[in-house]
Amino acid sequence: MAFTPFLTRLYGPEAFGVSAAFTAVMSIITPLATLGYATAIVIPEGDKEAAAIARLSILCALILAPISLLAVHLGQPWIAILTGLQDTPQILYLIPLSLIITAFLSVANQSAIRKGLFKAKARAYVESALGTNLGKLGGGLVAPSGLVLILLTQAGQMLNLFMQLLRVPRQGVLKPSNWIGVRGVGEAAKAQRDFAVYRMPQSIIRAMAMGLPVIVLTALFGSAEAGQYSLTLLILGAPAMLLGDSVGEVFYPKITRAITGNKPKAQVLIVKAIAVLGLVGVATFGLIVIFGDVLVPWLFGAEWGRAGEYSQWVAVWMTAMLATRPAVASMPALELQSVLLLYEIVVTAARAAALYVGFLFGDDLVSIAIFSLINVAGYVGLSAVVLFKAYRRNSEVLNV
């Protein structure tokens, strides 16, 4: 966040738009890296089972990487046109490498979460973010382009993985050598199949939905508009993801133990977490909702005025997303992954319709406004389903 006002004055909206288009593609295919299995590392009681899930996750990536390379080679022209990367189509060949890096980083992250090593994980992230943004600052002084932003972002993921491995004890599920091999992967795949059947498709659909504005804005309005939106998502998504992921990573194992251990009133934990994060969201994004059209161009440069108008609507969406993070984190333990998949399908269709309505009006701001409100409504409905399920489960426990 501290670097962004400098970067926006070095890289224009077009460069941010190109980078955002590549990021949208990567976010859609990233869940394929481990087929969703990496998220299950925190669930088993023993490290032996957790290490088997880690091996399964890495094996999935090693199989899928060459498949993605073939897909990029055969579909490069079409993919480049769709994402606005016609000038640098060769950057698409980074996709297979990125899948492998993402798989290892996901396994490292989930292993650290399992062991409660949040401080080591956070330090590695901060150090890699600092190194990446220093690189972007230097690159912007020499050759400010979307290609430079993409390359440095990929390098930052590798740095994050390296720094995290340096900070955690290399033993049990945290030992990288235990991530390689096929021992126990069959049993792990069967035991945690819900993550591949439900969580992975849900993650892909969700990523497609989140990437829709970038792709649609690029295709229908131009890369500059996509760049304006990407800045909005960057400055508002960063605190939302930081707070949401931090709380979610701590809350996920806690609520999982409460639910799987049949402890009563698990729904009380969810309600309290939603209430606290809701208040944090209002405090964090309230000023942007009211004054975003003035604050954003003042902070990041006059050419980012449209991003300020986007931010007023996106801030409402981010507040809802942050508040409902505990509800989403509770869904695997409540066995609601199929509901989450259905939710993503329905809401994604509504999001696409919202963007199309804006296109019919010929106004990109209308697209973003309706898109944001659809997200808010979806999060509210999802939270209601989770709380109802938690209440039902609590009633069953008390009756027993």
Provide the pLDDT for residue 130. 93
Give the pLDDT band of residue 20 (cuts 50, 70, 90): confident
For residue 45, what is the DSSP state? S
Give the pLDDT band of residue 84 (cuts 50, 70, 90): low
Provide the pLDDT for residue 78. 81
Give the pLDDT band of residue 248 (cuts 50, 70, 90): low
Provide the pLDDT for residue 30. 79
The region, left, alpha or beta by phi > 0 then psi within -120 to 50, assigned to residue 35 is: left
Decide which of 218 and 313 is more confident. 313
Decide which of 380 and 329 is more confident. 380
Give the residue among 72, 81, 126 at the shortest CA–CA distance from 99: 72
To the nearest 10°, report the CA torsion of 125, 150, 234, 112: -20
For residue 261, what is the DSSP state? T
Q: Cα angle vertex 180, ends 176, 182, to 5°?
A: 145
Provide the pLDDT for residue 372. 93
Mean of the per-residue pLDDT values of the chain: 83
C-alpha 385: how far from chain center: 22
pTM over 0.75: no
Provide the pLDDT for residue 394. 66
What is the C-alpha to C-alpha distance for residues 340 and 346, in angstroms, rounded to an integer?
10
Residue owning tokens 């290399």: 170
Decide which of 108 and 32 is more confident. 108
Give the pLDDT band of residue 397 (cuts 50, 70, 90): low
Decide which of 209 and 195 is more confident. 195
Range in 71-75, 77-81, 312-316 the model is least confident about = 77-81
Q: Per residue in 362-388, pLDDT tens?
A: 888 998 999 999 999 999 998 888 888
Calculate mean pLDDT across residues 108-118: 86
Residue 174 has pLDDT above 90, yes or no: no
